[in-house]
Amino acid sequence: MDPKLQSLGLLDLISERHVQLRSTAEHLWNDHSDIYISNSEWFILTRIYENQQPTISYVSKNVDISRQATHKFIKRLEAKGLVEIKDVENNKKEKCIQLTAFGQECYEKNKSLKAMLEKKIADAIGIEQLSILKSILQTDWRIDKLK
């Protein structure tokens, strides 16, 4: 066991593992693809994938990234051919975003790479332990009541 992790509390342990997993997922993608996509860009792509043509303002409100940075990342994703920005019908101010066929393909490829990573974690800690961990993480921790 990593001695650095032994002295950490719950929040810091979750944070450390999150950073490790995100870094590993990013390296996996970059080792299997010619196109670089940052973790922030993946976060935005996920919001677009989940909501099928969300508005830019919706994405900005639902990612933990500044509005200005979100716009910059969306422009980068558009330049890479991963998303298209379109006008919202009956609304001149709003724009919506959708994945291109290439963006959809990249998202699906990354999804399978993450599944492979999850299998490696299951191999390391055991499928039952992974199942318990996922169950715990999916449980309502009532965090909003702690504020």
Q: Which CATH number covers residue 114?
A: 1.10.10.10
Question: Using CA atoms, how far apart are residues 29 and 18, in angstroms rounded to an integer?
Answer: 16
8 domain residue, yes or no: no
Q: What is the pLDDT of residue 36?
A: 93
Position 115 scores a pLDDT of: 96
**Where do the H-state alpha helices sit in the chain?**
3-6, 10-32, 39-51, 56-61, 67-79, 101-125, 127-138
pLDDT along the chain (147 residues), means of 10: 84 93 92 92 93 88 89 96 90 89 96 96 97 95 83
Question: pLDDT at position 62, please?
Answer: 87
**Does 144 reside within a domain?**
no
Do the domain assignments include residue 123? yes
In a domain, 114, yes or no: yes
Tell whether 10 is covered by a domain.
no
Can you give the residue range of the structural domain that contains 121? Answer: 37-138
User: What pLDDT sits at residue 14?
Assistant: 94
**Is residue 117 domain-resident?**
yes
- How many separate domains does the chain show? 1
79, part of any domain: yes
Is residue 18 in some structural domain?
A: no
Give the model's pLDDT for residue 136. Answer: 95
- According to the model, what pLDDT value does residue 1 have? 66
